[in-house]
């Protein structure tokens, strides 16, 4: 397992977030409902459990390796999470937002204050509080370092959607149903979004993928969101590879389709005949990764390194105006000496196919920078914990 340990109980410190407590490394949990985070993009989905993955933890791990000038880190006792992070391949410069903070230096009071100040400015006080007061070495031959990676993304929809004041029923894979609030578009308003909403795939039988353009205010940072039903996928890795392939395909703006013996004209943008609805989603988690913490690595005759508590603070939300993603990852190593059809089909004469995209069952939301090989956040929504549910 490559997941988090629990963050349970509300505290004033995190203003309704969580307080860490110790549980089994193989029994991760989250705040008050089963939203889980993972460092492994191949972590299997579990029925009725929502899951979030961001490569920010990977950036921290890669920074740890760069600090030590090594290609991999072998931990004792064995860490499957460390092996997974060592094997992951990506182009970090294309995946993470351009203002990502990366710190990897020897630990000093001045360095900690510099990191705190940067986090406070970028994310806020909650992230800054992850950087605890400096503690000097307690024994001769001890050396400390600190690895911190953090980014914020606040993309907006170019044209807002309409909040739905009437909740819709969302059904998870366990068969449980919840009344969830959301947003969307239909009728004349649906046709006004143009290329900002595009259909990437639709089997006309409730399996589909939609691309939503994001506006960041920075021409160097083009982003989009893809919402997709899972199909046969059972983890992020296989689903995201398919999504990346769909994003790279050449558009077919119009084509002919057949449904129940009738031919239709199908456009890859929304029309006044169409309906779109998706739930508001949100999550705030403070996570610890026990499979990485308190394990030795780079052992030698002169001593060894050991990781202290590895933590991530993640906050995300999606509503009718756009998205917010905030994630901060902290890795504290310590050294003790021994003494991470490209042609459009001419089908103008056919009736326009009425598309209906209602995300009222489990789906994947992934957030991409243009040209990236992986998204900077992916969410599997399968239950009420990330929804705004009617009381």
| Structure confidence at residue 345 (pLDDT) | 41
Among residues of the chain, what percentage have pLDDT more than 90? 81
- Tokens 């993972």, residue located: 38
Among residues of the chain, what percentage have pLDDT more than 70? 88
Work out the average pLDDT over 226-241.
95
Residue 342: band (very low, low, confident or very high) from pLDDT cuts 50, 70, 90: very low
pLDDT of 269 above 80: yes
Contact between 318 and 282 under an 8 Å Cβ cutoff? The reply is yes
- Measured at the CA of 298, the angle between CA 288 and CA 85, to 5 degrees, comes to 45
Cβ-Cβ contacts under 8 Å for 356 (sequence gap 6 or more): 274, 275
pLDDT of 341 above 50: no
| Structure confidence at residue 58 (pLDDT) | 98
Return the bridge partners of 369, or none.
223
pLDDT of 343 above 80: no
| Structure confidence at residue 339 (pLDDT) | 62
Tally of domains in the chain: 1
Work out the average pLDDT over 293-297.
93
Residue 219: band (very low, low, confident or very high) from pLDDT cuts 50, 70, 90: confident
Q: Is 149 exposed, middle or buried (0-12, 13-18, 19+ CB in 10 A)?
A: buried
- Domain containing residue 199: CATH number: 2.30.39.10
pLDDT of 232 above 70: yes
| Domain containing residue 35 | 1-391
């Amino acid at each position: 397992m490559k997941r988090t340990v629990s963050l349970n109980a509300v505290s004033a410190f995190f203003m309704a977030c969580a307080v860490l407590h110790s549980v089994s490394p193989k029994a991760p949990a989250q705040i008050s409902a089963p939203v889980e985070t993972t460092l492994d993009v191949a972590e299997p989905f579990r029925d009725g459990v929502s899951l979030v993955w961001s490569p920010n933890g990977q950036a921290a791990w890669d920074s740890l390796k760069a600090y030590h000038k090594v290609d991999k880190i072998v931990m004792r006792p064995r860490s499957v999470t460390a092996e997974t992070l060592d094997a992951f391949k990506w182009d970090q410069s294309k995946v993470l937002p351009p203002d990502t903070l990366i710190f990897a230096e020897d630990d000093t009071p001045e360095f900690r204050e510099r990191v705190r100040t940067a986090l406070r400015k970028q994310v806020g006080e909650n992230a800054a509080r992850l950087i605890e007061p400096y503690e000097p070495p307690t024994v001769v031959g001890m050396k400390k370092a600190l690895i911190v990676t953090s980014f914020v993304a606040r993309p907006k929809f170019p044209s807002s959607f309409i909040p739905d004041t009437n909740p819709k029923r969302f059904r998870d894979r366990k068969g449980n149903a919840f009344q969830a609030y959301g947003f969307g578009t239909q009728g004349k308003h649906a046709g006004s979004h143009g290329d900002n909403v595009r259909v990437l795939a639709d089997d006309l039988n409730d399996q589909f993928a939609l691309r939503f353009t994001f506006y960041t205010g920075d021409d160097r940072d083009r982003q989009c969101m893809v919402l997709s039903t899972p199909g046969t996928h059972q983890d992020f890795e296989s689903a995201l590879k398919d999504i990346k392939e769909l994003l790279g395909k050449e558009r077919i703006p119009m084509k002919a389709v057949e449904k129940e013996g009738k031919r239709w004209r199908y456009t890859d943008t929304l029309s006044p005949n169409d309906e779109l609805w998706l739930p508001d989603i949100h999550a705030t988690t403070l996570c610890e990764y026990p499979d990485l913490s308190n394990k030795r690595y780079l052992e030698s005759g002169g001593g060894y390194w050991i990781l202290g508590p590895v933590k991530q603070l993640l906050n995300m939300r999606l509503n009718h105006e756009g998205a917010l993603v905030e994630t901060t990852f902290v890795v504290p190593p310590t050294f003790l000496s021994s003494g991470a059809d490209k042609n459009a089909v001419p089908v103008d004469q056919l009736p326009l196919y009425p598309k209906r995209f209602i995300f009222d069952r489990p789906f994947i939301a992934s957030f991409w920078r243009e040209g990236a090989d992986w998204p900077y956040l992916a969410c599997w929504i399968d239950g009420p914990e990330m929804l705004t549910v009617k009381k």
